[in-house]
Amino acid sequence: MFCSHARYFRVARRDLVYLKFILEAYEGLALLSTVDPEGAVVRISNTGFFESDLDFLIRALAREIELKEVPRPDGCPDDLPNLPNKKVMRHAG
């Protein structure tokens, strides 16, 4: 997934795992990365193709958990995450 849009949220630490679980259930919708583990600030990145779906999901989640949109934190890199390159496993033989 190539990410082109990012939004930042402050999340209650107790809700981080739940948020990650829900976003992963919608495979391909968005990527979640923690940018400030102490302050529980996360970046939710997406391609922009499903931005309205993601917005709907975020609004629904905000009614269930402590989830507040915040500006990009100072010192947070401007680059967006990409999926890591898969290593090719070679076996002897």
Strands 67-70 and 5-11 turn out to be antiparallel
Q: Which helix (H) or strand (E) holds 5?
A: strand 5-11
Average pLDDT over all residues of the chain: 81
Nearest by Cα to 80 from 11, 22, 16, 2: 2
Query: What CATH number should be reported for the domain holding residue 21?
Result: 3.30.70
Residue 93 tokens, joined: 């033989």
pLDDT of res. 49: 83
78 occurs within a structural domain: no
Structural domain boundaries enclosing 54: 5-70
- The total number of structural domains in the chain stands at 1
Collapsed DSSP state (helix, strand, coil) of residue 85: coil
75 occurs within a structural domain: no
84 occurs within a structural domain: no
Prediction pTM value: 0.76
The one-digit pLDDT tens for each residue of the chain (93 residues) are 555 789 999 999 999 999 999 999 998 899 999 998 777 899 999 888 888 999 999 999 999 999 999 998 877 765 554 444 333 334 444
80 occurs within a structural domain: no
